[in-house]
Structure 1
């Protein structure tokens, strides 16, 4: 059977196999188209494989070539040495300053001389000084000349940057301690009015003191409020609320300036009998 040359996939054999059978059934049609479907599948698979294999090469061909950098030519410049200096050649004269904007008259400082050495020169009068400035020699001024400043230009006096003092001071070592407006008696009167005894603390008969710390800012507001020793039962939260709602304090003073000061204070919670 295996050595025979009979091709069972020929259409003649298909007709024999499907004789007296329902050829409209899908198996007959599939057997007829099996060769064409196999060839088509091979062609599609081969095409996809070739395209996948050649895709990097195709991408390189499609990708534009990078710009070619131009090579800069380096030109060597030879600088000629300066000519030799002749020591006998006199130096050039110094540049003359521009003429002043206003006329000047010779007004040398007074020097005591003997009478025989005094020259017959007329002294400068007050009228001459009204029209011109005094100088070492008489120079005609140029009204169109620019004003020349002989001194070196500078930045002028600079004001040092003001550094704000943000240090938190201890209230004990201060020149003037922060305080509540009207004194601490007024503060505790405010606390007595503002405190609302928490219901949990009342039910559990919680009494005592809550110790707090805070910072009195330069504007008198209270910040960084912390509970240093807790009492519980809602009293800690109530004490913080009362301090946050407190009016502004009078800030502390150090070296004549307002500073930030850390302050510690207890707030008592007592149930009335």
Structure 2
């Protein structure tokens, strides 16, 4: 990622109509163990999301493509990105996609999300925009 990241936000993924909701609360459980929605404590990266974007800048070296991509991933209850959960919803080269997936999957430990209802650390599905 050569360009500076203009947006420092994290967007929680909305619930797709194809999922069966397992419970009613401020957060919704998908696939029996992955939550989306509101949390008592949102997942956070050490040093804030600005720190995560700096980490990505160091790890992702795609050629300047001038596009924004959205990366979906699951942050598990221990604070690590779940292997195999990273999905990029825009078309990028295979080399660039591999760099993005590797950077996410090898990221340092986050502080995981805490659910309102159970007051415990949970797996959370997130969506993060990045500029290439």
- TM-score per shorter chain, which class? 0.5 to 0.7
Which runs of at least 4 in structure 1 moved beyond 6 Å after TM superposition? none
| CA distance, structure 2, for counterparts of residue 187 and residue 206 of structure 1 | 20
Q: Which residue of 2 aligns with 1:221?
A: 80
| CA distance, structure 2, for counterparts of residue 253 and residue 266 of structure 1 | 22
What SS does structure 2 have at the residue aligned with 1:263? strand
Q: Which residue of 2 aligns with 1:262?
A: 125
CA contact (8 A) 2:81 2:106 kept: no
Give the greater-gyration-radius structure (CA): 1
| CA distance, structure 1, for counterparts of residue 129 and residue 96 of structure 2 | 12
Structure 1 unaligned residues grouped into runs of 5+: 1-165
Q: Which has the higher helix share?
A: 1
Q: Which residue of 2 aligns with 1:177?
A: 42
| CA distance, structure 2, for counterparts of residue 268 and residue 239 of structure 1 | 11
Deviations 1:111-159 (A, max 9, x none): xxxxxxxxxxxxxxxxxxxxxxxxxxxxxxxxxxxxxxxxxxxxxxxxx
Q: Which residue of 1 aligns with 2:95?
A: 234
Alignment of 1:71-110 (within 5 A): none
CA contact (8 A) 2:59 2:99 kept: no
Structure 2 unaligned residues grouped into runs of 5+: 1-31
Q: TM-score, normalised by structure 2?
A: 0.66
Aligned residue among 48, 53, 63 for 1:188:
53
What SS does structure 2 have at the residue aligned with 1:249? coil
CA contact (8 A) 2:112 2:123 kept: yes
Aligned residue among 33, 41, 50 for 1:167:
33
Please report how far the alpha carbon of residue 235 of structure 1 lies from its aligned counterpart in structure 2 after TM superposition.
2.1
| CA distance, structure 2, for counterparts of residue 248 and residue 230 of structure 1 | 28
What SS does structure 2 have at the residue aligned with 1:229? coil
Number of equivalent positions: 97
Please report how far the alpha carbon of residue 262 of structure 1 lies from its aligned counterpart in structure 2 after TM superposition.
0.3
| CA distance, structure 1, for counterparts of residue 35 and residue 103 of structure 2 | 23
| CA distance, structure 1, for counterparts of residue 89 and residue 130 of structure 2 | 12
CA contact (8 A) 2:60 2:96 kept: no
Deviations 1:47-99 (A, max 9, x none): xxxxxxxxxxxxxxxxxxxxxxxxxxxxxxxxxxxxxxxxxxxxxxxxxxxxx
CA contact (8 A) 1:168 1:261 kept: yes
Bigger relative contact order, structure 1 or 2, given CA contacts below 8 A and separation 6+? Answer: 2
Alignment of 1:69-148 (within 5 A): none
| CA distance, structure 1, for counterparts of residue 114 and residue 94 of structure 2 | 37
